Amino acid sequence: MLIKLTKEELLKLGISESDDEPRSHTKKIITIASQKGGVGKSTTALNLGYSLSLLGEKVLIIDCDPRGSTALTCNLKRKNVQGLVQALKGDAETDQLLAHVNGDNLAVAGVGLSEPDDILFFEKEAAEGRLNSLIRHLARDFNYVLIDSPVGVGGIVKAALEASHTFILVINCRATTVKSLPSFFKLTDWVQKVGNPSLVLEGVLITMFDSTNPTEKNILNHFKSQLPGSFFFDILVPYDRNFESANIKSLPIGMLPIGEEAAKPYETLAKELASRGPAGEEEYVDLPADLLEDIAPFGEAQTEVIKKKRTQSDLLGNILAKMCKGRRFSGAVVTDEMGLPLAHYKCSADIDALAAFTSVLGDSLQKAGSILDLPNANFISLVINDDEKLLMCKFEMLENSYYLLTVCPREPFNPDERQIKEMVAQIVAELS
């Protein structure tokens, strides 16, 4: 739960009791978060903040990452050695924390770590609620506050989320991202329950996207098949090596002559955020609940709201249920080319194991095609015990490859390739 600081604790931070909440012109405090490193979280905070400032908004970026990612990106130590740690210790006034970038509309406050034990102090202050109060006090003179949070699900991330109206989850299309998302959404779900019931997801931003990489395209399709489309920002931030040049020069990429094209996604995102208005005036995206309880448990909050959002996975699951009942299959699973499950129906075996197996069988199909000169080889039948067998068919849909794997009894019902292909045709017809 949120901790209410005593009058003495507030005064130590230079905050009066009346100052503990942002002024009305603070439109939104947004945590920029990620479950894994190297996804462009700090780059997003800086470039989104810069793009918002170009729209005339007063923006503050607060670096809450003990690694000082934003501070390093902005070369903040050359401009200001004071940071959040010094303010929390009472060694600096809050107005001494701000370093301005590109005029008065964009300011940055660094974390201010200088000694190893500062990290422990910072984490303690976060746990006891003082970091939360400091963030909300700093927000008073700005329209937008972007918090660059640490990677993962620790206490500092929790404090940032408690201080925020919304959060943006930054991800890239890597296999590790698929596995790491559930734990992050469990944290946000918990924060919403016990500390900040008004917290909502602003959107999921995909960064460093390589449209020429088929694996990344497959993972993107996986995300969008499992979550409602409203969870994602429409804009993708493509991979661009010029971001590294901008970081070396300690500038937003839009300030470089070579960065005009790379800056456009963040300019588009800034306009979208500005059009949404202040927190509380519009309905934002509900946090993921148990929409994927069979595949990836994302938490429990607002279950009924989420269940009303129909995804590709929902539709696919309904199709499998109808087809299995009608043809007496004991179970079925549909996966993408990497073996990630998209939907399933009544499979007695472990779903993740079955899904991974489709990828193995798919490799066998590919090798058979190359060895036997059978480019259209796409069907495998495999006896697994005295009573059951597996039938798998590879099919193309929406410019991607998928697998349908069915589990069925060997006798007396003995489905053949024709029946499996009929199921595939129905899937393609209903989802395409």
Q: Please identify which residue in the block is written with the tokens 């998302």.
A: 181
Q: How far apart are CA 168 and CA 71, in angstroms?
A: 20
Q: What is the pTM of this model?
A: 0.70
Spell out the per-residue pLDDT of the chain, length 432, in tens: 344 455 555 555 555 555 555 555 789 999 999 888 888 899 999 999 999 999 999 999 999 988 866 766 666 555 556 889 989 998 888 788 888 887 789 999 988 877 888 889 999 999 888 999 999 999 988 999 999 998 887 889 999 999 999 999 999 888 777 667 777 777 888 888 887 888 888 989 999 999 888 888 878 877 776 677 778 898 999 999 888 888 777 788 888 888 889 999 999 999 999 998 787 665 566 554 444 343 333 344 433 333 444 566 777 778 888 777 766 677 888 877 767 777 777 766 666 666 666 666 766 666 665 555 555 556 677 777 777 777 778 887 766 778 888 887 766 555 666 777 777 887 787 766
Phi, psi of 309 (to 5 degrees): -85, 115
Q: Write out the H or E segment, with its range, that includes residue 32.
A: strand 28-33
| 105 conformational bin, left if phi > 0, alpha if psi -120 to 50, beta if neither | alpha
Tokens representing 171? Answer: 């991800």
CA angle 77, 80, 85 (to 5 degrees): 90
Given a contact cutoff of 8 angstroms between Cβ atoms, the answer to whether 14 and 94 are in contact is yes
Residue 170 phi/psi, 5-degree rounding, is -100, 125
Task: Give residue 2's pLDDT.
Answer: 43
- Bridge-based pairing of strands 144-148 and 28-33 is parallel
Is 39 within 8 Å of 170 (Cβ atoms)?
yes
What does the alpha-carbon distance between residue 374 and residue 384 come to, in Å, rounded to a whole number? 25
The pair phi, psi for residue 168, each rounded to 5°, is -110, 125
Count other C-beta atoms under 10 Å from residue 385's C-beta: 7
Is 359 buried (19+), middle (13-18) or exposed (0-12) by CB count in 10 A? middle
Token pair in block for residue 151: 């990677």
Cα–Cα dist 143/419, whole Å: 60
pLDDT of residue 170: 93
Structural domains in the chain, sorted by start = 7-306 (3.40.50.300), 310-431 (3.30.450.30)
200-209, strands of its sheet edge to edge = 98-100, 106-109, 59-63, 144-148, 28-33, 166-171, 200-209, 232-238
Question: What 3-state DSSP class applies to 357?
Answer: helix
Task: Return phi, psi of residue 56, to 5°.
Answer: 90, 5
Selection from 189, 167, 188, 171 nearest residue 180 by Cα: 171
